[in-house]
Amino acid sequence: MNAKALSRLSLRALWGVFLVSLLLPGLAAAQSFDLLKPKGGSGPLSPEEAFQVETAWQDDGTLAVSFYIAPGYYLYRDHLTVSAEGGDAPVIETQPGEMKDDPNFGTVEVWHDHTEAVVSDITGPFTLHWQGCEEKGLCYPPQSREIVPPGGAATASASGAAQSNQATGVPDYAQSAAPSEPTATSEADTPTPPVAASKGDGNRLNLSSDDGLVAGIAAKGGWALVVASFFGFGLLLAFTPCVLPMVPIVAGMLGAQGKDLTPARGLALTGTYVLAMAVAFGLLGIVAAWSGQNLQFLMQAPATVIALALLFAVLALSSFGLFELRLPQALTNKVSSVQGPRGTLAGAAILGFTSTLIVGPCVTAPLAGAFLYIAQTGDAGLGASALFALGLGQGVLLMAVGLFGSAILPRMGEWMVGVNRAFGFVFLGVAIWLLSRVVAGPAILALWALLLIGAGVALGGRDRLGPESSGLRRVGGALGVAALLAGAIEGVGAASGAADPLRPLAPFTAGQTVMASTSDVLTEDDFTHVETPEALDAALNAAKGEPVMLITTAEWCTECATIAREVIPDPQVQAALRHVTPIAVDVTKTGAPQQALLKQLGVIGPPTLIFLSPDHSEAQGTRLIGDVTAPKLTTSLSEIAQ
């Protein structure tokens, strides 16, 4: 197949993607509207309803365990186990099951309807573990219960992201399978929420038992609905501050084509950009399933951030004309000569792929929901498909720019030299923004100062203007002067130790602000800060009987800084905060304690806000993820302060 035929085939494929992208929003909107309707009884059962457990101590010291499994669900035989800390584990005897070709674990032995087991050789407290799935494909996280022999007090403990609820009686659907003689339940059989338990003295953290965004959508309409819905979510995310900065980058990529830019060429470039971005999202989902790690931490690791910043610095230097980025000659002969990072399909793919690593850290509800579902179930296929559709949805706006770019963008000329240089400054700005997650604030302000001063000089802020100067040059000169002034202010802020580029003069106004506020305004500095599960337990114990707001935050989280700067000081938020105990869960570090905290709270990454009522159970439907506004925060706070 020659290069022209390959190009035509690629264009047809991209046209197909674009046409599908025009059809999916309607399906996504219709299906999403259906999701807003009351679920009634059509949704998946909670793990406590799907797998109800009864235990009864026998005269010989053994424990009889009965599982009542709801229709349409099954329990794995090899996942029914026992464990004990600090001693020998008891022995568990189970009944034979049925062989099943399971989509999650291959050929396995499972139970339907009802099964029983006997635990013997019990020498002390132990933990009973089990796991099951729904026939439609929804797989529940492992469940567990701590069992204490007669004479001891039993407690429930969390395993993974959920914990089992104990049934107080035989469910209606299992009456036919129930033993003929009634059995007494032990003290361990009292109901407990499906939550993470705190280790504090008598204190318990009861998190909401929502199945999650992806699991809920999948149960409602299956794989197709998940993909369509996430495409719709991507469309909405396309207009957020995380994605809009990609528009000028794509515009510059198209502008570099000059007279060669046609609707087909523009669609090919932006289609490649969007497909690469969507593929990167899908790969992130697969990596999440295989590694089981928190990708938010991996993407924010200093090494990753610095590598990305260096990449954009290289792109900036190329835009300034210092050198050209080229593919190996063998690939160049087959595709086309590479004239820069933004002028070819290969360059577009590189930019699209790397842009995912910029957009990804902006944790939004769909992205967090997909990662949480993948982490809990290991279903890489559905998770990756959802994230791929999310990337396509985010790219529809960019593909529209590519399709109509030839009609709205000026033709090639000397102005393109200025455009290339302008995008060099844009790439440097992206690099500085990335470094702000791992580099101290004053150093970042110094970098912004250098960038703004350089941009001001390039715009002509120091040039003399005469009567013959064009209007465009005068506008450029004015912008250059503004950039020089802004750079000087950033430099003063850096020298004075300021940490926020948007408030470079804060050190000079801090004293006045404190006097004006008379210390009445709560800030994140006034919150209780915790970095380990033990510290969180202690903070919750100290706030026993009080409503609590948990805010997961990190120094490298840009959205967290926005919440602290613009949302927390809001008067209505301040009034609502007076009635709760705020706790800041700091995950700036990326060690095991922070991973354990996120796992305990069921959080993918910051910013995530959890609202606990006075008994420290999470108020249903109040959790906030990603973009948090003052009205949203006030509403959630009012739910727990009543």
Six-digit token string for 128: 């009973």
CB burial class (10 A; 0-12, 13-18, 19+) of residue 117? Answer: buried
Across 161-175, 180-194, 242-256, least confident range: 180-194
The answer to whether position 146 is within a domain reads yes
Taking alpha carbons only, the member of 351, 356, 370, 395 closest to residue 22 is 395
Distance, CA of 384 to CA of 277 (rounded, Å): 13
- Mark whether 17 and 53 lie in a shared domain: no
At residue 333 the predicted structure's pLDDT band, cuts being 50, 70 and 90, is: very low
- Mark whether 368 and 249 lie in a shared domain: yes
The answer to whether position 223 is within a domain reads yes
Alpha-carbon Rg of the chain, whole angstroms?
29
> In this structure, is the dihedral angle defined by the CA atoms of residues 281, 286, 291 and 294, taken in order, positive or negative?
positive
Across 145-154, 204-213, 622-631, least confident range: 204-213
> In this structure, is the dihedral angle defined by the CA atoms of residues 154, 155, 161 and 163, taken in order, positive or negative?
positive
Cis peptide bond N-terminal to 607, omega within 30? yes
CB 32 within 8 A of CB 221: no
pLDDT for 92 beyond 90: yes
Supply the pLDDT for residue 39. Answer: 40
The C-alpha angle with vertex 211 and arms to 278 and 293, in degrees rounded to 5, equals 50
The answer to whether position 435 is within a domain reads no
Q: What is the pLDDT of residues 570-583, one digit of tens each?
A: 889 998 998 899 99
CA distances from 116 to 63, 177, 545 (A): 11, 11, 40
Select from 172, 189, 206 the last residue of a domain: 189
The answer to whether position 320 is within a domain reads yes
The C-alpha angle with vertex 535 and arms to 529 and 537, in degrees rounded to 5, equals 115
Which residues constitute the domain of residue 183? 47-189
- Mark whether 181 and 105 lie in a shared domain: yes
pLDDT for 205 beyond 70: no
User: Strand order of the sheet with strand 608-612?
Assistant: 528-530, 581-586, 548-553, 608-612, 624-625
Give me the CATH number covering residue 179: 2.60.40.1250
- Mark whether 395 and 247 lie in a shared domain: yes
pLDDT for 105 beyond 80: no
Select from 398, 417, 436 the last residue of a domain: 417
- Mark whether 225 and 134 lie in a shared domain: no
Taking alpha carbons only, the member of 194, 183, 124, 119 closest to residue 156 is 194
If one counts the domains in the chain, the total is 3
Taking alpha carbons only, the member of 250, 589, 612 closest to residue 398 is 250
- Mark whether 220 and 306 lie in a shared domain: yes
- Mark whether 232 and 379 lie in a shared domain: yes
The answer to whether position 500 is within a domain reads no
pLDDT for 182 beyond 50: no
- Decide which of 60 and 322 is more confident: 60
Of all helices (H) and strands (E), which one includes residue 380? helix 380-408
Supply the pLDDT for residue 225. Answer: 78
- Residues with Cβ within 8 Å of 307's Cβ and at least 6 positions away in sequence, in order, are none
Q: What is the pLDDT of residues 496-532, one digit of tens each?
A: 888 778 888 878 875 554 444 445 677 877 899 999 9
Quick one: angle between helices 380-408 and 246-255, nearest 10? Answer: 50
CB neighbourhood size of 589 (10 A) = 14
Average of per-residue pLDDT across 607-636:
86
Average of per-residue pLDDT across 358-381:
58
CB neighbourhood size of 320 (10 A) = 16
- Decide which of 106 and 497 is more confident: 497
CB 549 within 8 A of CB 601: no
Share of the chain above pLDDT 90, in %: 14
Residue carrying the six token digits 């953290």: 205
Taking alpha carbons only, the member of 357, 326, 356 closest to residue 343 is 326
| β-strand partners of 146 | 127
Highest mean pLDDT among 310-314, 421-425, 547-551: 547-551
Supply the pLDDT for residue 22. Answer: 43
**What one-letter code names the amino acid at 619?**
A
Average of per-residue pLDDT across 588-615:
83
Select from 401, 417, 433 the last residue of a domain: 417
Supply the pLDDT for residue 379. Answer: 65
DSSP 512-544: HHHHHHTT-S--GGGSEEE-SHHHHHHHHHHTT
- Mark whether 294 and 163 lie in a shared domain: no
Give me the CATH number covering residue 529: 3.40.30.10
Supply the pLDDT for residue 356. Answer: 67
- Mark whether 608 and 637 lie in a shared domain: yes
- Mark whether 261 and 117 lie in a shared domain: no
The answer to whether position 442 is within a domain reads no
- Mark whether 21 and 58 lie in a shared domain: no
Mean pLDDT of the chain, nearest integer = 72
The answer to whether position 436 is within a domain reads no
At residue 352 the predicted structure's pLDDT band, cuts being 50, 70 and 90, is: confident
Q: What is the pLDDT of residues 437-491, one digit of tens each?
A: 777 778 889 999 999 999 998 888 787 777 777 777 788 888 889 999 999 999 9
Average of per-residue pLDDT across 340-363:
63
**What one-letter code names the amino acid at 577?**
L
Distance, CA of 222 to CA of 202 (rounded, Å): 41
The answer to whether position 488 is within a domain reads no
Supply the pLDDT for residue 469. Answer: 75
- Mark whether 256 and 393 lie in a shared domain: yes
